[in-house]
Homo-oligomer: A and B are copies of this chain.
Amino acid sequence: MGLDLWGDVAELTAAIVDIESVSGHEQALAEAVEEALRPLPHLTVERDGDTVIARTALGRAERVVIAGHLDTVPVNDNLPSRVEGDRLYGCGTTDMKSGVAVMLKLAATVPEPTRDVTYLFYECEEVEAVRNGLLRLAEARPELLHGDFAVLMEPTHAVIEGGCQGTLRVEVTAPGERAHSARAWMGSNAIHKAGEILDVLRAYEPRKPVVDGLEYHEGLNAVFVRGGVAGNVIPDECVVTVNHRFAPDKSLAEAESYLRGLFAGFEVTVVDASDAARPGLTHPAAEAFVAAVGGTPRAKLGWTDVARFSALGVPAVNYGPGDPPLAHTKDEYVEIPRIHECEERLRAWLTE
């Protein structure tokens, strides 16, 4: 049974939430999206890995890109979806299948938009950048990302969010020396040594700089830790993976240098890095979108693929029905009225 793109957008959201699509396992959902879009005569549909690209080609003066990722973080005992009052609960409801549902409904029900539209449904946004479907397209077929303006339907609670914070993930390694755990003093315990790394993280106070009028909020967190050889061996290595979120007044190089300073004396290896993007709301195309949709823009704290469009010279904003603080939580939900609101505002913008 395929997806119904003509019914209620909240029901469509529930349907795609219930197609589990943890990063790396988007195939079933990509299949469903492709199958639903391919019969539509006004769209050219392409499949690239588990990324689906659907475009109108009406010869309009402007082309806009509307993009959303198909993947979610690991399920946390929060599937299948369920409705409670005005809320739709479940893994991916906020981040960001409600946005994907709006895209799908618009793709089907606005056959003659006033601007040509490229809809991008892509894979692996929630994991290391090297697997990101949009990055792959940006490198292999950058023409697919080109446009006068781009909207990413990441969760913003139906408010336009400008720019995005950068993200840098490093492995900080504490060294040690193995010994039998009955004679620990003959060796040196790397896990105990890693306590110094955690001391730095526990003492961290976040910076909250204002950039182009919007306030950001940085972060520094351990996201993984691993160490240990055997149950009776003093471990000789402990690795803490640290994720730094940094505001767009810092370059990637500055962020890296900051981390290397914080963890001086430890081996620091960069495992994932994505630049921040300045708000960019002063660009004319961005101003037109802001005028059409309304509201007061605010800063985007999470990293989003806005930065990839920004790097290609395409002004881009985040705008979607999900609620950012709920993303990646066990109790993730989306407010159903926000899904309808986003659908209406974008429909107005594409048909004005």
- Interface residue? A330 (CB, 8 A): yes
Give the Cβ gap from A325 to chain B, nearest Cβ, in Å: 5
| A328 adjacent to chain B (CB < 8 Å) | yes
Q: Cβ of A302 < 8 Å from any Cβ of B?
A: yes
Most buried by B among A183, A184, A186, A231: A231
Interface status of A293 (Cβ within 8 A of chain B) = no
Q: State whether A195 touches B184 (Cβ < 8 A).
A: no
- Residues A180 and B230 in contact, CB atoms below 8 Å apart: no
Q: Determine if A231 and B272 form an interchain contact, defined as CB atoms under 8 angstroms apart.
A: yes
User: A171 to B74, alpha carbons, bound, how many Å?
Assistant: 24
Say whether A108 faces chain B, with CB atoms less than 8 Å apart: no
Partner of A229 from B73, B191, B240 at Cβ < 8 Å: B73
CB pair B165–A225 under 8 Å, yes or no, is no
Could you give, for residues 201-217 of chain A, a 1 whenever the CB lies within 8 Å of some chain B CB and a 0 otherwise?
Answer: 11000100000000001
Which of A177, A245, A329 neighbours the largest number of chain B CB atoms within 10 Å of its CB?
A: A329
A199 contacts which chain B residues (CB < 8 A)?
A: 195
- Chain B residue numbers with a CB within 8 Å of A224 are 191, 227-228, 231, 235
Q: In residues 113-132 of chain A, which contact B (Cβ within 8 Å)?
A: 126-128
Per the bound structure, the CA–CA distance linking A243 and B228 in Å amounts to 12
Which residue of chain B has the shortest Cβ distance to A325 in the bound complex?
A: B186
Instruction: Decide if A191 touches B325 in the complex (CB within 8 Å).
Output: no
A174 to B106, CA, bound (A): 46
Inter-chain CA distance A177–B329, complex, in Å, is 8
Give the interface centre of A76, A177, A195, A325 by most chain B CB atoms within 10 Å: A195
Closest to A22 in B: B230
Minimum Cβ distance to chain B for residue A1 (Å)? 31
**A302–B183 contact, CB under 8 A?**
yes
Among B229, B235, B302, point to the contact of A182 (Cβ < 8 A): B302
A224's closest neighbor in chain B, by CB? B228
In the complex, the chain B residue whose C-beta lies closest to that of A245 is B182
**Which chain A residues (291-332) contact chain B, with CB distance < 8 Å?**
301-303, 324-325, 327-330
Which of chain B's residues have a CB closer than 8 A to the CB of A102?
Answer: none
A328 and B180 in contact (CB under 8 A), knowing A195-B202, A225-B228? yes
Given contacts A180-B302, A182-B219, A223-B228, 18 further A-B contacts (CB under 8 A): A23-B230, A181-B219, A181-B221, A183-B301, A185-B206, A186-B325, A191-B198, A191-B222, A192-B202, A221-B234, A223-B230, A223-B231, A223-B235, A224-B228, A224-B231, A225-B238, A226-B226, A233-B328
Q: List 14 A-B contacts (CB under 8 A).
A: A73-B232, A73-B233, A126-B230, A127-B231, A167-B182, A181-B219, A181-B223, A183-B219, A194-B198, A222-B228, A223-B234, A224-B235, A230-B328, A233-B328
Q: Which residues of A contact B (CB under 8 A)?
A: 23, 73-74, 76, 95, 126-128, 165, 167, 169, 177-187, 189, 191-192, 194-195, 198-199, 201-202, 206, 217, 219, 221-235, 238, 240-241, 243, 245, 272, 301-303, 324-325, 327-330
Instruction: Return the 7 tightest CB-CB contacts between A and B, nearest first.
Output: A224-B228, A182-B302, A195-B198, A191-B222, A180-B328, A184-B219, A180-B327
